[in-house]
Amino acid sequence: MDQILLGVGDALAIENVLLIAVGVFTGLLVGAIPGLNGPMAIALALPITFYLSSLSGIAFLIGIMKGGTFGGSVAAILLNTPGSPEAAATAMDGYPLAQKGKGLKAMKMALYSSVFGDSVSDIVLFCVAAPVAVISLKMGPPEMASVLIFALTIIAGLSGKSLIRGLIAATLGGVIGTIGLDPESAVPRMTFGFVQLSDGVSLIPMTIGLLALSEIIVQLEAQILGRAGAAKRLNPFAKEVPRENKVVTWAEWRACFPTTLRSSAIGTGIGALPGVGAVVAGFLGYASAKRASKTPEEFGTGKLEGIAAVEAANSAVSGANLIPLLAIGVPGSLTAAVLIGAFLVHGVQPGPLIFQDHPRLIYGIFAAMVLANIFNFVIGQAGLRFFAFVVSFPNRFIYPAVILCCIAGAYAGANSMFDVAIAFIFAVVGYFMRKLDFSFAAFIIGFALTPQAELYVRQTVILYGDRPMTLLTDHPIVAFFLALTTYSVIRIARYQRKADHARVALREGATSNDAPDLEITVRDRSEP
């Protein structure tokens, strides 16, 4: 109890409260600008956390994460261009509402349901993470190795559109993760004579290159080659718009509440699974709301319920996402993988021991999440006019400035131009990954988990190298997770094959009853 109170007290320190508010504002701002998104902003802000305390730094990044989720919906509603991938489904009903002059109402409903979904998810995190951590503390190296192999396979299989491409991305991340000194013998591995690579490839410049710079390169390509679609911004604040089109009434909120609650549960469940992510949660929330509705034909024509369904589901992912990270040390998403960097910068290893070794920090983070939700609501509500303005801020200013911030951020981590070079190299790698549809989440999580997995495997070999068969007979959890991994790979492969066949059949005109749902979940699956 003392630790809880101390943690909450830390989070309420004026410095931390301000940092959370700044984080939420930054997330909202970045999320609102099409082409920029939350994970990118977190990667860029990561070097700043070097200069903050562990709680301040992580709370700041959590603020960005929470703000970024709702921020994406502003552009989706006003421009029909999602500010972030998870807001893609928000545009389906948001933009038609904005065309009807109800853009402000749509943005407010998005904000309310987003904050609600996020809060539900956080409550589940607070209740579930510690008990799961207690269970995982009882696991030894063989069990942890098998859990990591299972988690990596699931992430690789579910975070992209193709199982094989996902596995390739995770394996490639793993290969990069082995660069540096060998954990047992300290023999340099693939360092090519660069002393800077002795500790391995640094996560910060790598994520800046992969997430931020490569995204800007892709956006610039569309701009420079003239492939960017022109978007017309609708003004929801115009004087001629009647007042009832600018507010969400109590009756409207109450009518949408069951949908919001259902989507929050869906998003929380999806978020707790490593690798699935907010985009899928958003589409699943939307599909389930449509299925449950008495007027499904109205979905897609500007229905508030559609917005509530998507926003509650995609926001509910963010809290639950941290369950695998804090309980077993497995980042469940791209954002969680980047957050690992913030923990490691301050010498904190995410995983079950965190509740034992750093309880004050953990409860501080939980309190910071609650504060971030409050700020998300307050800043989102007060700043809607501003965020509606920034969605159409000219790209000619934004992209070059972001590139310069990326260079400064990559350099700031270690005061080294070597890290800037790493960021540039991964920017080009990231461009190819985007174009060829290899999952970033799988790559970064593979990179982040490999050193840990390698250590567990090595410990297992030392412990059981002379009697390998007892590993399976004496450790049923290992056998269970290895069997589950094999089963999951087969299931995912079969599902994807079925989806591919369904897509081809749909295009040829042959439709089946379940094909449209399959189409939504498969086609729009993207980065978590």
Q: Does 58 bind another protein (CB under 8 A)?
A: no
Q: Which of 421, 479, 482, 484 binds another protein (CB under 8 A)?
A: 421
Phi, psi (deg, nearest 5) at residue 35? 100, -25
Q: How far is the CB of 219 from another protein (least distance, A)?
A: 10
Q: Does 518 bind another protein (CB under 8 A)?
A: no
Task: Give yes or no for a contact between 64 and 30, defined as CB atoms under 8 angstroms apart.
Answer: yes
Cβ proximity to another protein, 226 vs 242, nearer residue: 226
Q: How far is the CB of 465 from another protein (least distance, A)?
A: 8
Expressed in percent and rounded to 5, the helix, strand and coil fractions of the chain are: 75, 0, 25
Q: What is the dihedral of CA 344, 125, 277, 302, to 10 degrees?
A: -130
Distances (CA, A) of 482 to 143, 433, 453: 10, 29, 14
Q: Would you put residue 502 in left (φ > 0), alpha (ψ -120 to 50) or beta?
A: alpha
Q: How far apart are CA 428 and CA 422, in angstroms?
A: 10
Q: Does 490 bind another protein (CB under 8 A)?
A: no
Q: Which of 299, 375, 411, 456 binds another protein (CB under 8 A)?
A: 411
Cβ proximity to another protein, 152 vs 280, nearer residue: 152
Q: Which of 3, 53, 223, 349 binds another protein (CB under 8 A)?
A: 223
Q: How far apart are CA 217 and CA 111, in angstroms?
A: 30
Q: Which of 40, 44, 125, 407 binds another protein (CB under 8 A)?
A: 407
Cβ proximity to another protein, 48 vs 370, nearer residue: 48
Cβ proximity to another protein, 152 vs 278, nearer residue: 152
Cβ proximity to another protein, 95 vs 399, nearer residue: 399
Site string for another protein, 433-452 (x = CB under 8 A): --xxxx-----------x--
Q: How far apart are CA 313 and CA 199, in angstroms?
A: 39
Q: Which of 3, 53, 191, 392 binds another protein (CB under 8 A)?
A: 191
Q: How far is the CB of 411 from another protein (least distance, A)?
A: 6
Residue range at the interface with another protein (CB under 8 A); choices 116-124, 181-189, 242-250, 313-321: 181-189
Q: How many residues bind another protein (CB under 8 A)?
A: 64
Q: Does 174 bind another protein (CB under 8 A)?
A: yes
Residues 386-405 that bind another protein (CB under 8 A): 395-397, 399-401, 403-405
3-state secondary structure of 383: coil
Cβ proximity to another protein, 174 vs 306, nearer residue: 174
Q: How far apart are CA 507 and CA 287, in angstroms?
A: 21
Q: Which of 504, 510, 512, 514 binds another protein (CB under 8 A)?
A: 504
DSSP H helices, 273-358, are 278-292, 304-320, 322-328, 334-345, 354-357
3-state secondary structure of 190: coil
Geometric angle at alpha carbon 205, from 199 and 211, rounded to 5°: 135
Q: Does 127 bind another protein (CB under 8 A)?
A: no
Q: Does 408 bind another protein (CB under 8 A)?
A: yes
Q: Does 157 bind another protein (CB under 8 A)?
A: no
Q: Enter the DSSP assignment of 508.
A: T
Q: How far is the CB of 504 from another protein (least distance, A)?
A: 5
Task: Give yes or no for a contact between 313 and 285, defined as CB atoms under 8 angstroms apart.
Answer: yes
Cβ proximity to another protein, 255 vs 436, nearer residue: 436
Q: Does 513 bind another protein (CB under 8 A)?
A: no
Q: Does 199 bind another protein (CB under 8 A)?
A: no
Which among 37, 141, 67 is positioned nearest to 379, based on CA atoms? Answer: 67
Both tokens assigned to 47: 């070097």
Phi, psi (deg, nearest 5) at residue 189? -125, 120
Q: How far is the CB of 45 from another protein (least distance, A)?
A: 12
Cβ proximity to another protein, 223 vs 293, nearer residue: 223
3-state secondary structure of 74: helix
Q: Does 3 bind another protein (CB under 8 A)?
A: no
Which residues are registered as beta bridge partners of 189? 180
Q: Any idea which residue has 């603020």 for tokens?
A: 63
Which among 119, 55, 20 is positioned nearest to 365, based on CA atoms? Answer: 55
Which among 172, 178, 177 is positioned nearest to 160, based on CA atoms? Answer: 172
Q: How far is the CB of 441 from another protein (least distance, A)?
A: 17
Q: How far apart are CA 329 and CA 151, in angstroms?
A: 10
Q: Does 211 bind another protein (CB under 8 A)?
A: no
- Which residues of the shown chain bind another protein in the complex (CB under 8 A)? 48, 50-51, 164-165, 167-168, 171-172, 174-175, 178, 182, 184-185, 187-192, 217, 220-221, 223-225, 395-397, 399-401, 403-405, 407-408, 411-412, 415, 417, 420-421, 424, 427-428, 431-432, 435-438, 450, 454, 457-458, 461-462, 500-501, 503-504, 507
